[in-house]
Amino acid sequence: MVDLTGDEKAVATHSLPLIYAAISAAEAELKVLPADSGLTQLITLGTTMPLMGTASERVRLGLRHAEILTLLAWHGGPQLGTGLSCGELAELLFGEPGHEVTLRAEVVRLRRMLRTTPAAGGADLVSKPYRLDRPVELDAVLVHQALVTGQRQLALDIYGGPLLPASEAPGVVDLRRQLSVELREAVLSDGTPQELWRYLQLPEAADDEEVIYTALRVLPADSPQRAALVARMQR
């Protein structure tokens, strides 16, 4: 609950945007905590501390391990015949062929971590092709699926920011860009005023003038959110 207590000045026009900003900040913290589905989860959106585990137990992942798990969860799955070859995964990680030896060493370390960490939920990494041996819930995939099915509110609930923002792995950079564009276009083309407002609270949308102007056009004339957007445009 957000409480603003005071005299008549507390309900001034400039105060209400502060309340919305506080609510949005709280929502941003919650976005990295998807609802517990019973599956092992990968939390990768809008955080430099990727996590793996369930709602009750999570472990922090190193960036390289998070990159590998993200790429496998996005491109592969537990079904026979899906996944990525060693060469494909190496190119997604390093941007060029010839890094298979380095990748295999990383895979050995990742397997050891998965097999000795209870928070991994028994998930393992198998080879030929590389893939996870059971479903793992990747927050980025959940956002993509929500957008494909027109569930913009759900996508905004889960999306906490760019995918693995510290990663420079080409495959992750491509997925990061794809997901960001998908979300922006979905909100910009069909978003409600509240969805546009929520999207504009994301750091990547802070200076997106097209979305700001669209929100100003559809928000009610007396909406306190308009004042916050006008103030943003005047900074």
Percent of the chain that is helix, strand, coil (3-state, to 5): 55, 10, 35
Share above pLDDT 90 across residues of the chain, in percent, rounded to a whole number: 63
Task: Please count the CA atoms within 13 angstroms of the CA of 97 that sit on its side-chain side.
Answer: 4
Q: What is the mean pLDDT of residues 164-173?
A: 97
Q: Cα separation of 7 and 234, whole Å? A: 28
pLDDT tens for each residue of 194-217: 999 999 999 999 889 999 999 999
Average pLDDT over residues 121-139: 92
Residue 84, SS3 per DSSP? strand
Residue 183 has pLDDT above 60, yes or no: yes
On whether the pTM is more than 0.75, the answer is yes
CB under 8 Å to 221, separation ≥6 — which residues? none
- State both tokens at 122: 């028994």
Domains (range + CATH), the chain: 8-33+139-233 (no CATH), 40-138 (1.10.10)
pLDDT digits (tens, 9 = 90+) for 40-90: 999 999 999 999 998 788 999 999 999 999 999 998 754 445 789 999 999
Residue 33 has pLDDT above 50, yes or no: no
Closest CA relative to residue 208, chosen from 200, 216, 196, 217: 200
